Amino acid sequence: MHRATDQAAPIDALPKCLTGIAGFDAITQGGLPRGRPSLVCGRAGCGKTLFAMTFLVRGATGFAEPGVFMSFEESGEDLAQNVASLGYDLPALVAQGRLFMDHVRVERAEIEETGEYDLEGLFIRLGHAIRTVGAKRVVLDTLEALFSGLSDTALLRAELRRLFGWLKEQGVTAVITAERGEAGLTRHGLEEYVSDCVVLLDNPVAGGVTTRRLRVVKYRGSAHGANEYPFLIDA
């Protein structure tokens, strides 16, 4: 048990970080919580990676905030190709030092040895990436790649706190994507409790028609529109 009594911290109004996604910035009255990690969750095909990528690209091009995209499943080439139709030129941003793309391949052998991904190794690698471009924004895509081997909920909770704590210490505004689960907003149904800000993307089918929707489920420290809003990203 580590003692961490914080008796007299000075109050600051919660600063925010414009994402550049017009509707989202309006609903949240200014974007994501600056310097904190946020969770963007949803089912396959709901637009999690697109949300995260737009957050980085707009940050780099509109707000002079370099970013790091750490991917655990898609390669940098695939990601670049996937967003090219939106007019995002990732290789150019990378070349200009405004974006750092890192593709981490979690190998089977690693999982078989320890049953989980080594967070310390991630911190070293991500720290290097942040320093390289002076990143103010970070994306981790996706949480499941890190913790799918952890079935003990007490341990998972502790590791999530450790990851989120480390990101806060770096002073970056972070987006972590997460897959939708059965029992809650996320796989284990507890990630959303540990997070300061939770955005849920959805693409429900009703009467054969699909609509993309976005809802800010939780936003510690800020009023926010809590309804469901249509979600559109275009360049």
* Residue 120 in contact with a copy of itself, rule: CB under 8 A: no
By the 8 A CB rule, do 172 and 138 touch? yes
Q: What is the dihedral of CA 75, 109, 152, 178, to 10 degrees?
A: 10
CA–CA distance, 143 with 127 (Å, rounded to integer): 17
* Residue 83 in contact with a copy of itself, rule: CB under 8 A: yes
Backbone angles phi, psi at 141, to 5 degrees: -130, 95
CA–CA distance, 167 with 129 (Å, rounded to integer): 13
Please give the size of the binding site for a copy of itself, defined by CB under 8 A: 97
Shortest distance, CB of residue 8 to a copy of itself, whole angstroms? 5
Residue selected from 40, 56, 190, 201 as contacting a copy of itself according to rule CB under 8 A: 190
Residue selected from 22, 62, 78, 131 as contacting a copy of itself according to rule CB under 8 A: 78
Report the residue number, 62 or 220, with the smaller CB distance to a copy of itself. 220
Residues 140-159 that bind a copy of itself (CB under 8 A): 142, 144-145, 148-149, 152-155, 157-159
CA–CA distance, 172 with 16 (Å, rounded to integer): 12
Pick the stretch among 19-27, 56-64, 200-208 that binds a copy of itself (CB under 8 A).
200-208
- Partner residues linked to 39 by β-bridges: 176, 198
- Partner residues linked to 216 by β-bridges: 199
Residue selected from 22, 62, 75, 134 as contacting a copy of itself according to rule CB under 8 A: 75
Q: Which residue has the tokens 């990143």?
A: 135
Residues 33-62 that bind a copy of itself (CB under 8 A): 36, 43-45, 49
* Residue 171 in contact with a copy of itself, rule: CB under 8 A: no
Residue selected from 16, 20, 27, 196 as contacting a copy of itself according to rule CB under 8 A: 196
* Residue 131 in contact with a copy of itself, rule: CB under 8 A: no
Lookup: tokens for 44: 């396959």
